[in-house]
Chains A and B, each alone.
Chain A
Amino acid sequence: MYRTMVTARLIDEASFRLNRQGKAPFVVPVSGHEGCQVGTGWPLRPGHDIWVPYYRDVAIVLIAGMTPYEIFLGLFAKAEDPSSGGRQMPSHWGSRRLGIISHSSPIATQVPHAAGIAWAARYRGEDTVVGCWFGEGATSEGDWHEGLNFAGIHKLPVVFVCENNRYAISVAQPLQMAIQNVADRASGYGFPGVVVDGNDVLACYAAMKTAVDRARAGDGPTLIEAKTYRYFPHTSDDDDRSYRTREEVEEAKHNDPIARFAQTLKDQGVMDAPTIDAVWAETKADVDAQIDQAWNAADPDPVTLGRHVYLERDGM
């Protein structure tokens, strides 16, 4: 878990570095969300359960099985980008092989998909659980309501995870909703809503484990609200100085989920400081090597522009 959190952070830092170098036109950062993503992604079973992420979920797709190399293929819009072959903006994940459902840029449109997948999984007699992630801004959308409502009515095997970082781009939570906790909305759908410290990876894990077990047992959905913070602007094209003070951002970093987890690991005697340092060094070397490999991969061929509008047959 710790290594995955570190990987996500280093992918982020490298991506912004590449953005400043002019090699990556667009970056969607994850930093600050590693705890809630790794905690809520970990209880699902890669290769079996279904992942319905949104664009900030670098750590979620790492857990699902996407490699940093594949993530950088997307960042550089390369032909072999597993999500879209360079068609979509970076961080618009998807891989049928890995059970990561392709998503778009409009917010919360993936939420009814998660409910539909959960219906199909139960109909087919599977014990699949669907994980669905989004930000707090998504909870204002009609699609979000419609997805949770349907899942609640039919007690579907799906867990909804809100990564609440208090800002939907620039709009702060008090202008997004009149309530303190997104989790309160769950009562309107007839299933539990749980608030968890999104910077405490183990607390997120525990909440998700309970929710996944409940879903797999046929007891229906859970809405988990993981309260967290994003350290970078919304994207590389955003300037968060217009809506957040530097003091607020620096204050939030005192709650860095990676630093907190490292402290826990040291306190519990699981890892010592040199081991933790080694994880960072190894991961950085690994990530950097995969950047180079991805950078050198082939670009998409413009003649493929017209492909895959419909299913291609007869060797087309």
Chain B
Amino acid sequence: MTEKNVVTAIHDTLHDEMAADDRVVVLGEDIATRGGVFRVTQGFLDEFGERRVIDTPLAEGGIIGIAVGMALHGLLPVAEIEFADFIHPAYDQMVSEVSRMRYRSNGDFGLPMVVRAPWGGGVHGALYHSQSIEATYGHIPGIKVVVPGTPYDASGMLRAAIKDPDPVLFLEHKRTYRLIKGDVPDEPFEVPIGKADVKREGDDLTAIAYGLSLHLCLEAAARLQEERGVSVEVVDVRTISPLDKDTILASVVKTGKALVVYEDNRTYGAGAEIAATIAEEALFDLDAPVARIGGPDVPAMGFATNLEHAFMPNADTVAERMLELARF
């Protein structure tokens, strides 16, 4: 075990997978000479060479489309979209090509590829460096969408994503990159895609979250336990699609109350699907209406510190909502 932050865990895992399998190639903007704007591919160019570490032109549709071609011809591409906010030009490739290749060919072709994208707010990213895109792609069958929130999960799920025979959108919350630290095994290991994880056990209510919001929930839960004796179970969704309904429902059935916390715009966000699932499948186990905390329905968060804070959930508001729910 070694303690690492999230970005180091991702760097090390990607490095080890490239060293272990020469079919793995990485491509994207600024990833070779610069080593990535977040340094995820630092040193890769020198070690693996320009045939495997590819600085692409500034064209996101091309990055994804070229990765599709590579995946069709025996490689395991890991494409980086510099910021999740910039993936939109590639939406057609993601939806029309990446998600549908296996389905439309009736299983004849598959795309073993990973698209990595840093997402989320809390880093003064303003309108175009803070976005949440998980719901957009969670809505598209054929693409798996993962949102690991800890160094352990980021490492294990990246390895699982690279080995997955189907396309995986691997979302890395920027604020967690250097903020969140944890132990990561030194030997290769996988965390399965499609499995949520109970990060904290509790009895009074269930908080369901992912990414940075997971840590807000954990912080709020610890505080409530200490200050109010309220016992909160925290479920880390980890995979947006396919959603692990069983783990979420089992926890909600146990506690009888559910709070879903997410940073994306509240309306039609991934939390809406989670809330709907609970309402549909656990109604008679609920002791309170399902509660949600999401971003306001404005186009994006602002650059000014107070505007950004006003957009994002925080541990105080999460704790407040948990307490209300516990007292319901």
Q: Which A residues have a C-beta under 8 Å from some C-beta of B?
A: 50, 81-85, 87-88, 92, 94-96, 101-102, 104-106, 109, 111-121, 123-124, 142-143, 145-147, 149-150, 153, 307-312
* A117/B69 contact (C-beta < 8 A), A143-B93, A311-B166 known: yes
**Which residues of chain B are near A153, meaning CB under 8 Å?**
57
CA distance A146 to B93 in the complex (A): 12
Answer whether residue B295 sits at the interface, using C-beta atoms and an 8 A cutoff: no
Q: Which of B87-115 contact A (CB under 8 A)?
A: 89, 92-93, 96-97, 100-110
Whether the pair A112, B93 counts as a contact (CB closer than 8 A) is yes
**Which residues of chain A are near B103, meaning CB under 8 Å?**
87, 308-309
New A-B contacts (10) at CB < 8 Å, excluding given A112-B64, A113-B65, A123-B75: A85-B106, A87-B106, A102-B105, A112-B69, A119-B66, A142-B61, A146-B57, A150-B59, A307-B106, A308-B105
CA distance A143 to B97 in the complex (A): 12
CA distance A85 to B106 in the complex (A): 6
Instruction: Give the residue name and chain of the B residue nearest to A313 (CB).
Output: B165
CA distance A147 to B93 in the complex (A): 12
CA distance A121 to B71 in the complex (A): 11
**Sample (22) of A-B pairs whose CB atoms are under 8 Å apart:** A81-B106, A94-B104, A96-B109, A109-B97, A112-B65, A112-B68, A113-B68, A113-B69, A116-B67, A116-B69, A116-B72, A116-B77, A123-B25, A143-B93, A145-B59, A149-B62, A150-B57, A307-B107, A308-B103, A309-B102, A309-B103, A311-B166
Q: Which of B18-71 contact A (CB under 8 A)?
A: 25, 51-52, 56-57, 59, 61-62, 64-71
Which 7 pairs of residues, A with B, have the shortest CB-CB distance? A116-B69, A112-B65, A146-B62, A85-B106, A120-B73, A308-B107, A116-B66
Q: Report the minimum CB–CB distance from A78 to chain B (whole Å).
A: 11
Instruction: Give the residue name and chain of the A residue nearest to B54 (CB).
Output: A119
Q: Report the minimum CB–CB distance from B99 to chain A (whole Å).
A: 9
Answer whether residue B141 sits at the interface, using C-beta atoms and an 8 A cutoff: yes
**Which residues of chain B are near A124, meaning CB under 8 Å?**
73-75
Whether the pair B56, A150 counts as a contact (CB closer than 8 A) is yes
**Which residues of chain A are near B138, meaning CB under 8 Å?**
none
Whether the pair A114, B69 counts as a contact (CB closer than 8 A) is yes
Whether the pair A143, B62 counts as a contact (CB closer than 8 A) is yes
Whether the pair B73, A309 counts as a contact (CB closer than 8 A) is no
